[in-house]
Amino acid sequence: MNVEIIAIGDEILLGQILDSNSHWIARKMAEIGTPVKYFSVISDKEDVIHEAFAVAYRRSDVVLITGGLGPTDDDRTKGILAKFFNLPLTFRNDILIQVKEHYKNSQLKFSDTSREQAEFPAGATAIKNSHGTAPGIWIEREGHFFIAMPGVPSEMMGMMNDFVIPKIVAKQYGPITLFRTLNTYGIIEASLYEKLDNRREIREYVGLAFLPSFNGVKLRITAEGKDKPHLEARLDRAESLIREKIEKYIVGVGENLSLEKTVGEKLLDLRNKLAVAESCTAGFLSKRLTDISGSSGFFERGFVTYSNEAKNEMLGVPMDLIERHGAVSSEVAEAMAKGVLKNSRADVAISITGVAGPTGGTEEKPVGLVYIGYADSSRCIHKKCTFGKNRTINRDRSVSTALMLLLNQLQKQDDDFELILT
Amino acid sequence: MNVEIIAIGDEILLGQILDSNSHWIARKMAEIGTPVKYFSVISDKEDVIHEAFAVAYRRSDVVLITGGLGPTDDDRTKGILAKFFNLPLTFRNDILIQVKEHYKNSQLKFSDTSREQAEFPAGATAIKNSHGTAPGIWIEREGHFFIAMPGVPSEMMGMMNDFVIPKIVAKQYGPITLFRTLNTYGIIEASLYEKLDNRREIREYVGLAFLPSFNGVKLRITAEGKDKPHLEARLDRAESLIREKIEKYIVGVGENLSLEKTVGEKLLDLRNKLAVAESCTAGFLSKRLTDISGSSGFFERGFVTYSNEAKNEMLGVPMDLIERHGAVSSEVAEAMAKGVLKNSRADVAISITGVAGPTGGTEEKPVGLVYIGYADSSRCIHKKCTFGKNRTINRDRSVSTALMLLLNQLQKQDDDFELILT
């Protein structure tokens, strides 16, 4: 089954909104074994939308459309879809009742603009919107499924989970694609590639791809066919071939297995509680660690010590230490980590202090210089990192490197792991 | 000039990586007046890439390609591009020197795999990669520009800023498109639409679009033409027509003007320092506030009080208050905000406590229940919010609502602003 996503909206093309919907949908479709073949983002001009529908009708079986279902007149998806499939818009009282119900529950004033949401393409199936007003639209025509959903993520996700995915699964046919992701860290892509000198044998069983990121290189293996147990066996065989060569770099298996999840599980295993102190990343590490449900089992507290006074008053870092070495120094990073242990109920502590940029750098302490500290009851270490000039990237890499250092310490591996440089 | 982005990579189609590159490129292209007309994401299969290049050649003048330039054999962009334009790959010693230089600077081992990066399409321009090894590729053919860049964001961004954007600006022709974004908050899309009953007049000057998000509804106005001052005048006229109707909901003007930036500027204006305490959002509010360069001018410190003990020990919230009302309560939210003021050097404080979910809810305190506290030297208030069941969305909305409450208090407007429900 060929699956395609079309996201409609000038706000995405203008770079004002990041299209996280397509990413989410793509992951869901991959999970059910029918990965997406094409994504496109197009403007909300009628001719462009019409042309995109025509192309999608030719090349795809399932077409998932997001955006342009709202109540204002720059929302054109419903009208164009009706025209494309030659279905007249008719007034649907059942939809009106649902829309009114939603307005009532949300304590919003119902208006004439909202009333138009009850106009619906005749013969199409309305998909209930549990998180908003505009219903989704499901149209079937000669084996093609066109599914239009709102661009608001919560509304789209609700429709996908409750209605669209179960319905697609029920209609699936043809070969499926299974994949598995092996997450590595502490090694760069080119080195990993060379260590895996049995690539030819691996590729007898699966497709193999290398996916570098600041969080380590992921290896994705893919098997396509009709028989699920057979595909699983091919993935198993390929995984053991990979493990033969690079076992020690693999931190976990799973598409959604983030570094923070691996760290969290390790902390839970060890029954260790973690607390952190952050200067340049200012809460980002805490945020990442608590993205995971159940993080209260291992995360105890965080200190966002943005000012020098905060480092002194919250963590007991001596002011003269800061003055002598600077807030961005190995000495302060270690003192912060020790201060976390003293001022929390945690067993292990991580600290981050650095020059995130783009301003604030000096010759001696340039933008991108970051120190990460680690402390437990028996030891305290630090790691010096030199990243680039981009504030966002520096903060991101600081958090990832801190998580890697922590994981490394929890696994009592070699201290001096190679930093991911891709 | 028609501009198109093609992102290559199965990892995006499988939902493993979010394509933030296209978003960034789109914003840059919009800033120089030639917004992107199409984005697509395609797999790294040869026939699919070839077909996408053919479609792009037909419909676009500038084609920006990301991904598939790395050293491993699942990286196919260079070879396919060479074939598409019928340019043989030749060995370029100048590129080899640059690649070797990068390996040396990064203290990486140079390998034969890396040597292949010096093979380059004859006649194409190599774009220097200041952040990695693979050079970018610039090909011109009959007025079409094909530009291939690595998928690693820092490498792509470096090439765009240093080489691609200046070169495109030098070659620009035809009409340009200017746009302006008015950021509103405290009002839902449908109400905004109805208050703007002069839409017809506005649209005599500009295109008008409504962009709802958890951070408020943005109004985007667009003017297309050749004469920049004339386009600016049309935007000015439209802006004043909009302000006539909804002045009080507009918090700022600017494409990249986020809520946190508006809050930060207001705090700097008032010379107020902010400190925050977070439970369920656990650092996310601090992170958002410090995304902005220069945030040390207004952000003083943060308390990530994830456990009850942390609320008590870091902020002095009495344990019996937590036991009596629960950690998620208006009483604790207000006590947290007051505790922030007592335990920091800040003038204003914000606190967040809630049930992020997906587990941990009760009948009385369901998932999605969040209390936000605000305190300054003269007053302390709270706001009760009931969001949905999704952890990620709940944390996102909690942060946005906290920023809106803070902005509202700083502007000394009506306490009881309407929560964004779209």
pLDDT in tens, A368-416: 999 999 999 999 999 999 887 778 888 988 998 899 889 888 887 655 5
Dihedrals phi, psi of A179, to nearest 5 degrees: -140, 165
- Give the whole-number percent of chain B exceeding pLDDT 70: 94
Please report which confidence band the pLDDT of residue B120 belongs to, taking 50, 70 and 90 as the band edges.
very high
pLDDT in tens, B173-197: 778 888 898 988 778 788 888 899 9
Q: Which residues in chain B have Cβ-Cβ distances shorter than 8 Å to A24?
A: 15
pLDDT in tens, A289-303: 999 889 999 999 999
SS3 B374: strand
Q: Report, as an integer, the average pLDDT of A361-368.
A: 91
Q: Is the ipTM value over 0.90, yes or no?
A: no
Classify B354 in phi/psi space as left (phi over 0), alpha (psi -120 to 50) or beta.
beta
In this complex, which of A13, A282, A305 lies closest to B26 when CB atoms are compared?
A13
Inspect the interface and report whether the beta carbons of B13 and A26 lie closer than 8 Å. yes
Higher pLDDT, A292 or A336: A336
pLDDT in tens, A218-241: 898 999 888 889 999 999 999 999
- For residue B118, pLDDT over 90 is answered with no
Task: Name the average pLDDT for chain B.
Answer: 89
**CA distance, residue B101 to nearest chain A CA (Å):** 15
Q: Report, as an integer, the average pLDDT of B116-131.
A: 90
What is the per-residue pLDDT for A422?
A: 37
In this complex, which of A22, A278, A300 lies closest to B307 when CB atoms are compared?
A300
What is the per-residue pLDDT for A420?
A: 46
Do B243 and B250 form a contact (C-beta atoms < 8 A)?
Answer: yes
The β-bridge partners of B146 are: B63, B139
- For residue B400, pLDDT over 80 is answered with yes
CA A30 to chain centroid: 14
What is the per-residue pLDDT for A21?
A: 92
Q: Which residues in chain B have Cβ-Cβ distances shorter than 8 Å to A16?
A: 27, 181, 211, 218, 220, 255
What is the per-residue pLDDT for A314?
A: 97
Range name among A267-276, B77-86, B167-176 with the lowest pLDDT average: B167-176
Helix axes B46-59, B77-84, angle to 10 degrees: 50
> Quick one: tokens of B258?
């986020």
- For residue B113, pLDDT over 70 is answered with no
- What is the identity of the amino acid at A340? V
Q: Which residues in chain B have Cβ-Cβ distances shorter than 8 Å to A44?
A: 209
Q: What does the alpha-carbon distance between residue A35 and residue B317 come to, in Å, rounded to a whole number?
A: 50
In this complex, which of B40, B313, B421 lies closest to A40 when CB atoms are compared?
B40
What is the per-residue pLDDT for A417?
A: 52
Range name among A29-33, A209-213, A315-319, B378-382 with the lowest pLDDT average: A209-213
Name which of A102, A110, A154 to mutate to probe chain B: the one with the most chain B Cβ atoms within 10 A of its Cβ.
Answer: A154
Residue of chain A minimizing CA distance to B273: A307
Do A413 and A179 form a contact (C-beta atoms < 8 A)?
Answer: no
The β-bridge partners of B5 are: B39, B64
Q: Which residues in chain A have Cβ-Cβ distances shorter than 8 Å to B180?
A: none
What is the per-residue pLDDT for A257?
A: 66
pLDDT in tens, A253-306: 876 667 888 899 999 999 999 999 999 999 999 999 999 889 999 999 999 999
Full 3-state SS string of chain A: CCEEEEEECHHHHCCCCCCHHHHHHHHHHHHCCCCEEEEEEECCCHHHHHHHHHHHHHHCCEEEEECCCCCCCCCCHHHHHHHHCCCCEEECHHHHHHHHHHHHHCCCCCCHHHHHHHEEECCCEEECCCCCCCCEEEEEECCEEEEEECCCHHHHHHHHHHHHHHHHHHHCCCCEEEEEEEEECCCCHHHHHHHCCCHHHHHHHCEEEEECCCCCCEEEEEEEECCHHHHHHHHHHHHHHHHHHHHHHEEEECCCCCHHHHHHHHHHHHCCCEEEEECCCCCHHHHHHCCCCCHHHCEEEEEECCCHHHHHHHHCCCHHHHHHHCCCCHHHHHHHHHHHHHCCCCCEEEEEEECCCCCCCCCCCCCCEEEEEEECCCCEEEEEEECCCCHHHHHHHHHHHHHHHHHHHHCCCCCCCCCCCC
Q: What does the alpha-carbon distance between residue A212 and residue A26 come to, in Å, rounded to a whole number?
A: 19
DSSP state of B249: G
- For residue B331, pLDDT over 90 is answered with yes
Q: What does the alpha-carbon distance between residue B354 and residue A374 come to, in Å, rounded to a whole number?
A: 30
Inspect the interface and report whether the beta carbons of A293 and B357 lie closer than 8 Å. yes
Q: Which residues in chain A have Cβ-Cβ distances shorter than 8 Å to B113?
A: 190, 193-194
Please report which confidence band the pLDDT of residue B215 belongs to, taking 50, 70 and 90 as the band edges.
low
pTM above 0.90, yes or no: no
What is the per-residue pLDDT for A255?
A: 64
